[in-house]
């Protein structure tokens, strides 16, 4: 088959994982890192080649739309004639784009980790899990059916768990990994139920059939109605629940900030660029069903995305841990993508939001990975995460400084950096759909610029703090990915994305909407100026601003007490009101019944144990007595 | 056929002999004396066989042969029993039946 | 005359049986057993079963009793008095044996045995030998062979069981 080589994009990282995982302790440590990088170089080359091959050579069908190509397929479990689980590679614009994003970021993170993790105790383990993650994520995006996607979905959750707990001696890292796993698992419960309902209604797992506008999914639109929504709508909302869990959307966002306990390259790869956008990818993959069959469900996606974006942006303004600021920023940006999907319609021009979402996913992966890797370089240099212990680092770390600045400009949406173009498209799509969304996102754009430049000025300007030793620029293995990603962040915005990735495969052209772009640039610059005034020099302006916000600031600083709320619900309500009575019932009624049976048996056994004394003569006398008794019975009592 | 002696006389003697053997088996502690009690029981049964043969079915020899085979088997049984007793004695330095209770579990 | 001899033999059997199971010295018990076996052989003689009586004397009195005496010697029991048996056990033994004797004898006395008047068959050694080796209806060649195999197996088994285990 033409694209059969694409299976190796996923299999090469898997092979690296197997080698590093099984023999990591046997072979030389540095070799495991180089092996990981080499594997990623090959996979990256292959995915770039695939992208070229697909977009420019063979992807287009006769009518000019990009078609779905099955690169490789293998039947794995067959239930009925139409319902079977396959393992395969599905190539379409979004999966090819994701292949490029994942392999690029993963390669950069691998190279970066060569320097960042040097001397770490779990060096080979780290690289093994990194490869496992890359494999799972690639398997996820090329999934041909929703069940394969679900399996790899869980695999990325697992590798995320393993990597967050990389420093497993630290109790906080272990707690964070458990939290991430349990919260996403809980959300995946909804995903699984959604899959079951969906496959029950349509009789298939296959994306090609599911997303086909003439397919069985679209015949279901008039099916049973439950609580005002069709069954299909509920199935899709449940599937979105899984996506919201993985993408840290409100109300499943609580795990993402804690996940920053993992090593910084992991945060860059998993919790910024790739895994957390899996939820967006999931919605995008099922987009035709969402858009046509259940617009209500899509509205839910938009509301959740919009709320998450402003919610996270507000919190991000108050945090002091630089990685947590970035984590909330990630959540906010993913909210953007979700919102863009939610406001989109199906079709070329109407599907602007879809295209904008994918575009933002693409650019966001670049600049957010860059931000995390830059933060990693800073943490590497001065061994702290705390913003208040940083200042005036620009003269020590020039490369980090410049690349970080580029990333900040990109995320703030300043032209001509990448973020401007994608964010602009999202705003246009929101504006066309509903003005409320537009104004919310407009405010979020300002907040984004503010908190990113608060971070920037706080780290690189301001008063110089006392450092344990003089900070130094990171080694080349770490600065190379920074430079590469900075260049990418600067230029990827010029890619005519709408020519490649659209909701129905048909390319279209977009125009610049300056009437929308200008206000967004304006508020971004306003945010930057506020940050400049507040944080460029030491001043008491921030404190006065805090005072004027009063208790609202306190709520935001404590992330609106969601962790506490969940703990309260889990401990006081679920554990105390439901679990402990059930546990009591189990222990005192069910267990006690079984214990009673055992006790009685035991008691009887103890009583009759004496019969089995081992004394031969006792047995003999019982035998003789028995015989005599039989004689009496049979000769004198019965046969009279 | 013994002149003047009915089969009841013989059976009475062997019955008493049988139960004396049984009594010995139930009360003696020493394995060898228990074995002797078993020999008494066997003898009582042997005499019974011969008496039945002689008094009731003199035209056949079954009782006679049965007794003969019982004697042969008794010899075999005694040999094996004594081998076991000696082995037990070697292992636990006692041939007291009350000490042999390992096999109860 | 025969009646008197039978009574004497019966008396010997019963008295020495009781002594066998009650005496304190184990070697004496063996000797008393020898008397019982001898008296039994006497009864066989009275039945005119001479061959059986001879077998009884050689195998039982000659073989088994000697074997028992050997085992007494091997287990160093020759001089020790047997342990006192507790009264409960004796009572149990006497009660069950007495009850057994009573039951069996009363059953026997209520039962009438039809004594046969048919001619006794040949019980000479010649006839016995023929019967043992014959495979006609009244032949005993099969049990004879089986018991020979049994004796061989017993011999091997007894040796295996009793031989010293190599440490």
CB B33 within 8 A of CB B21: no
Q: Which residues pair with C25 in a beta bridge?
A: C81
Number of domains comprising chain B: 1
CA atoms of A333 and A411, how far apart (whole Å) = 9
Per-residue pLDDT, B21: 93
CB contact under 8 A, C103 and A628: yes
CA atoms of A163 and A266, how far apart (whole Å) = 7
Write down the mean pLDDT value for chain A: 85
* Residue A9 phi, psi dihedral angles, 5° rounding: -60, -40
Q: Does C78 touch chain B (CB under 8 A)?
A: no
Shortest distance between the Cα of B105 and any Cα of chain C, in A, equals 22
Shortest distance between the Cα of B74 and any Cα of chain A, in A, equals 19
Q: What is the pLDDT of residues A313-352, one digit of tens each?
A: 888 888 888 888 899 999 999 998 999 888 888 876 778 8
Per-residue pLDDT, A421: 86
Per-residue pLDDT, A63: 67
Q: What is the pLDDT of residues A444-469, one digit of tens each?
A: 988 899 889 888 888 888 777 777 77
3-state SS, residue B49: helix
Number of domains comprising chain C: 2
Q: Does A632 touch chain C (CB under 8 A)?
A: yes
Shortest distance between the Cα of C114 and any Cα of chain B, in A, equals 7
Q: Which residues of A396-428 are buried (b: 16+ CB within 10 A; e: fewer)?
A: bbebbbbbbbbbbbbbbbbeebbbbbbbbbbbb
Q: Which residues pair with A321 in a beta bridge?
A: A386
**What region does A561 belong to: left with phi over 0, alpha with psi -120 to 50, or beta?**
left
- pLDDT-derived band at A532, boundaries 50, 70, 90: confident
Structure tokens at B65: 């042969």
Q: Does C143 touch chain A (CB under 8 A)?
A: no
* Residue B59 phi, psi dihedral angles, 5° rounding: -75, -15
CA atoms of A565 and B45, how far apart (whole Å) = 92
CB contact under 8 A, C96 and A617: no
Residues C164 and C126 in one domain: yes
Q: Does A625 touch chain C (CB under 8 A)?
A: yes
Residues 6+ apart with CB under 8 A from A627: none
Query: Is pLDDT above 70 for B105?
Result: no
Distances from the Cα of A418 to the Cα of A96, A271, A421, A576, angstroms: 20, 20, 6, 50
CB contact under 8 A, B71 and C46: no
CB contact under 8 A, C116 and B11: no
Q: Which three-class secondary structure string do you get for A488-534?
A: HHHHHHHCCHHHCCCCCCCCCCCCCCHHHHHHHHHHHHHHHHHHHHH
User: How many CA atoms lie less than 13 Å away from B32 in the CB half-sphere?
Assistant: 32
Per-residue pLDDT, B20: 94
Query: Is pLDDT above 80 for A227?
Result: no
Shortest distance between the Cα of B34 and any Cα of chain C, in A, equals 8
Q: Does B90 touch chain A (CB under 8 A)?
A: no
| Residue B105 domain flag | no
Q: What is the pLDDT of residues A111-160, one digit of tens each?
A: 999 888 888 888 888 999 999 999 999 999 998 888 889 999 999 999 99
C55 vs B contacts (CB less than 8 Å): 68, 71
Query: Is pLDDT above 90 for A24?
Result: no
Residues C141 and C81 in one domain: no
For the segment A580-600, the average pLDDT, to the nearest whole number, is 90
**What region does A50 belong to: left with phi over 0, alpha with psi -120 to 50, or beta?**
alpha
Q: Which residues of A236-274 are buried (b: 16+ CB within 10 A; e: fewer)?
A: bbbbbbbbbbbbbbbbbbbbbbbbbbbbbbbbbbbbbbb
Query: Is pLDDT above 60 for A229?
Result: yes
Per-residue pLDDT, B69: 92
**Local structure of residue A45 (DSSP, 8 states):** H
Shortest distance between the Cα of A595 and any Cα of chain B, in A, equals 25
Query: Is pLDDT above 70 for B79?
Result: yes
Domain that holds residue B50: 7-92
| Residue B87 domain flag | yes
CA-nearest of C44, C67, C63 to C54 is C44
CA atoms of A146 and A154, how far apart (whole Å) = 12
Residues C90 and C128 in one domain: no
Give the containing element (helix H, strand E) for B78.
Answer: helix B62-92
Per-residue pLDDT, A220: 55
| Residue B63 domain flag | yes
Q: What is the pLDDT of residues C76-91, one digit of tens each?
A: 777 777 777 788 888 9
| Residue B16 domain flag | yes
Counted residue by residue, chain C has a size of 167
Chains in touch with B (≥3 Cβ pairs < 8 A): A, C
Indicate if the alpha-carbon torsion angle A6, A12, A13, A17 is positive or negative. Answer: positive
- Which of A605, A608, A616, A618 has the highest number of chain B CBs within 10 A, making it the mutation to test binding with B? A616
CB contact under 8 A, A614 and B22: no
Per-residue pLDDT, A79: 77
Structure tokens at C40: 């039994």
- Which of A613, A619, A620, A621 has the highest number of chain C CBs within 10 A, making it the mutation to test binding with C? A621
Per-residue pLDDT, A626: 92
| Residue B2 domain flag | no
Q: What is the pLDDT of residues A406-431, one digit of tens each?
A: 999 998 888 888 888 888 888 888 88
CA atoms of B78 and B84, how far apart (whole Å) = 10
Residues C16 and C81 in one domain: yes
| Residue B54 domain flag | yes
Q: Does B96 touch chain C (CB under 8 A)?
A: yes
Q: Does A77 touch chain C (CB under 8 A)?
A: no
Instruction: Name which of B26, B100, B104 is nearest A624 (Cβ-Cβ).
Output: B26
Residues C28 and C83 in one domain: yes
CA atoms of A359 and A418, how far apart (whole Å) = 9
Shortest distance between the Cα of C2 and any Cα of chain B, in A, equals 6
C18 vs B contacts (CB less than 8 Å): 20
| Residue C101 domain flag | no
In CATH, what number is assigned to the domain containing residue B31?
Answer: 1.10.287.3510
Residues C89 and C135 in one domain: no
Residues C12 and C90 in one domain: yes
| Residue C103 domain flag | no
| Residue C86 domain flag | yes
Structure tokens at A86: 């396959």
| Residue C25 domain flag | yes
**pLDDT exceeding 70 applies to what percent of chain A?**
95
The ipTM (two decimal places) reads: 0.90
CB B29 within 8 A of CB C84: no
Of the listed ranges A14-23, A356-365, B88-97, the least confidently predicted one is: B88-97
Q: What is the pLDDT of residues B4-61, one digit of tens each?
A: 788 888 999 999 999 999 999 999 888 889 999 999 999 999 999 999 988 888 888 8
| Residue B104 domain flag | no
CB contact under 8 A, A628 and C107: no
Distances from the Cα of C99 to the Cα of A80, A82, B22, B34, B85, angstroms: 79, 85, 12, 21, 31
| Residue B72 domain flag | yes
For the segment B54-73, the average pLDDT, to the nearest whole number, is 88
Structure tokens at C108: 């026997």
Distances from the Cα of A182 to the Cα of A146, A176, A185, A186, A188, angstroms: 22, 10, 5, 6, 10
C92 vs A contacts (CB less than 8 Å): 621
Beta strands in A137-279 (DSSP E): 225-226, 229-230
Pairing status of strand A84-91 against strand A225-226: unpaired
CA atoms of A420 and A364, how far apart (whole Å) = 11
- Which of C88, C90, C95, C96 has the highest number of chain A CBs within 10 A, making it the mutation to test binding with A? C96
Of the listed ranges A13-17, A201-205, A397-401, the least confidently predicted one is: A201-205
CB A143 within 8 A of CB A152: yes
Per-residue pLDDT, A1: 47
CA-nearest of C167, C162, C83 to B90 is C162
In CATH, what number is assigned to the domain containing residue C21?
Answer: 1.20.120.1200
Structure tokens at A441: 């996102």
| Residue C54 domain flag | yes
Tokens 């950096």, residue located = A417
| Cβ atoms within 10 Å, residue C165 | 7
The size of the A-B interface in CB pairs under 8 A is 22
Q: What is the dihedral of CA A576, A580, A582, A586, to 10 degrees?
A: 180
Per-residue pLDDT, B71: 92
For the segment A267-293, the average pLDDT, to the nearest whole number, is 86
A635 vs C contacts (CB less than 8 Å): 103, 107
Q: Which residue of C has its CA nearest to A618?
A: C89
Better pLDDT: A349 or B69: B69
CB contact under 8 A, A620 and B26: yes
Better pLDDT: A226 or C108: C108
Burial class (CB in 10 A: 0-12, 13-18, 19+), B93: exposed
Domain that holds residue C164: 121-167
Residues C84 and C139 in one domain: no
Instruction: Name which of A613, A617, A624 is nearest B104 (Cβ-Cβ).
Output: A613
Q: Does C69 touch chain B (CB under 8 A)?
A: no
- Among C45, C78, C94, the domain-final residue is C94
């Amino acid at each position: 088959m033409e694209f059969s080589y694409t299976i190796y994009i996923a299999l090469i990282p898997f092979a690296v994982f197997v080698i590093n995982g099984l023999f990591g302790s046997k072979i030389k440590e540095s070799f495991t890192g180089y092996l990981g990088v080499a594997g990623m170089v090959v996979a990256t080359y292959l995915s770039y080649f695939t992208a070229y091959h697909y977009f420019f050579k063979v992807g287009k069908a006769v009518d000019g739309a990009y078609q779905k190509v099955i690169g490789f397929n293998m039947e794995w479990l067959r239930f009925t004639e139409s319902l079977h689980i396959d393992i395969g590679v599905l190539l379409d614009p979004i999966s090819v784009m994701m292949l490029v994003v994942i392999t690029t970021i993963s390669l950069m993170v691998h190279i970066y980790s060569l320097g960042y993790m040097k001397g770490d105790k779990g060096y080979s383990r780290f690289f093994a899990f990194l490869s496992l993650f890359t494999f799972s994520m690639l398997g996820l995006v090329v999934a041909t059916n929703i069940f394969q996607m679900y399996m790899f979905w869980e695999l990325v959750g697992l590798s995320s768990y393993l990597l967050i707990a990389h420093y497993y001696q630290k109790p906080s890292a272990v707690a964070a990994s458990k939290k991430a796993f349990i919260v996403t698992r809980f959300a995946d419960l909804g995903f699984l139920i959604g899959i079951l309902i969906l496959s029950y209604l349509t009789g298939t797992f296959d994306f090609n059939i599911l997303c086909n506008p003439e397919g069985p999914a679209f015949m279901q639109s008039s099916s049973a109605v439950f609580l005002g929504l069709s069954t299909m709508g509920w199935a899709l909302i449940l599937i979105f629940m899984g996506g919201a869990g993985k993408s840290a959307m409100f109300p499943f966002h609580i795990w993402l900030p804690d996940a920053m306990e993992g090593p910084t390259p992991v945060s860059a790869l998993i919790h910024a660029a790739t895994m957390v956008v899996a939820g967006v990818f999931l919605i995008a993959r099922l987009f035709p069903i969402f858009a046509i069959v259940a617009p209500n469900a899509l509205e839910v996606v938009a509301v959740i995305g919009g709320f998450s974006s402003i919610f996270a942006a507000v919190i991000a303004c108050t945090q002091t841990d630089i990685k947590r600021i970035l984590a909330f920023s990630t959540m906010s940006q993913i909210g953007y993508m979700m919102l863009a999907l939610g406001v989109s319609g199906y079709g070329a021009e109407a599907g602007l939001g879809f295209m904008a979402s994918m575009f933002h996913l693409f650019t966001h992966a670049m600049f957010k990975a860059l931000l995390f890797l830059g933060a990693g370089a800073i943490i590497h240099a001065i061994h702290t995460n705390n913003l208040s212990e940083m200042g005036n680092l620009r003269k020590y770390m020039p490369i980090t400084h410049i690349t970080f600045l580029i990333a900040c400009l990109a995320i703030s949406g300043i032209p001509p950096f990448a973020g401007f173009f994608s964010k602009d498209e999202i705003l246009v799509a929101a504006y066309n759909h509903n003005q409320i969304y537009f104004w919310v996102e407009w405010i979020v754009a300002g907040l984004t610029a503010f908190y990113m430049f608060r971070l920037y000025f706080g780290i690189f300007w301001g008063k110089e703090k006392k450092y344990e030793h003089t900070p130094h620029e990171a080694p080349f293995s770490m600065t190379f990915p920074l430079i590469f990603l900075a260049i990418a962040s600067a230029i990827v915005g010029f890619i005519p994305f709408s020519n490649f990735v659209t909701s129905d495969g048909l390319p279209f052209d977009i125009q610049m909407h300056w009437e929308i772009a200008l206000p967004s640039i304006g508020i971004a610059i306003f945010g930057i100026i506020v940050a400049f005034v507040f944080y460029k020099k030491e001043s008491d302006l921030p404190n006065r601003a805090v005072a004027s916000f009063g208790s609202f600031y306190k709520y935001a600083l404590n992330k609106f007490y969601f962790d506490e709320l969940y703990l309260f619900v889990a401990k006081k309500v679920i554990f105390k009101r439901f679990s402990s009575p059930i546990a009591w019932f189990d222990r005192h009624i069910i267990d006690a019944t079984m214990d009673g049976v055992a006790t009685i048996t035991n008691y009887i056994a103890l009583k009759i144990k004496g019969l089995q004394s081992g004394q031969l003569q006792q047995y003999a006398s019982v035998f003789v007595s028995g015989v005599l008794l039989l004689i009496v019975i049979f000769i004198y009592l019965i046969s009279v | 056929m013994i002149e003047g002696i009915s089969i009841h006389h013989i059976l009475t003697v062997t019955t008493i002999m049988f139960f004396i053997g049984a009594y010995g088996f139930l009360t003696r502690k020493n394995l060898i004396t228990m074995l002797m009690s078993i020999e008494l029981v066997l003898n009582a049964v042997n005499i019974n066989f011969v008496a039945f043969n002689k008094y009731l079915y003199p035209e056949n020899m079954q009782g006679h042969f049965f007794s003969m085979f019982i004697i042969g088997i008794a010899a075999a049984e005694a040999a094996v029993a004594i081998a076991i007793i000696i082995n037990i004695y070697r292992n636990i330095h006692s041939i007291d039946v009350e000490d042999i209770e390992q096999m109860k579990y | 005359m025969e009646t008197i001899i039978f009574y004497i033999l019966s008396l010997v059997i019963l008295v020495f049986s009781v002594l066998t199971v009650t005496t304190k010295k184990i070697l004496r018990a063996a000797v008393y057993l020898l008397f019982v076996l001898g008296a039994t052989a006497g009864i066989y003689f009275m039945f005119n079963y001479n061959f059986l009586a001879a077998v009884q004397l050689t195998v039982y009195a000659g073989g088994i009793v000697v074997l028992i005496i050997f085992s007494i010697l091997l287990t160093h029991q020759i001089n020790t008095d047997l342990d006192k048996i507790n009264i409960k056990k004796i009572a149990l033994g006497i009660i069950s044996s007495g009850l057994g004797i009573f039951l069996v004898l009363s059953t026997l006395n209520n039962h009438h045995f039809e004594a046969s008047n048919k001619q006794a068959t040949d019980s000479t050694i010649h006839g016995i030998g023929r019967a043992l080796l014959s495979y006609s209806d009244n032949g005993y060649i099969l049990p004879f062979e089986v018991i020979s195999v049994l004796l061989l197996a017993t011999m091997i088994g007894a040796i295996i069981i009793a031989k010293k285990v190599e440490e």
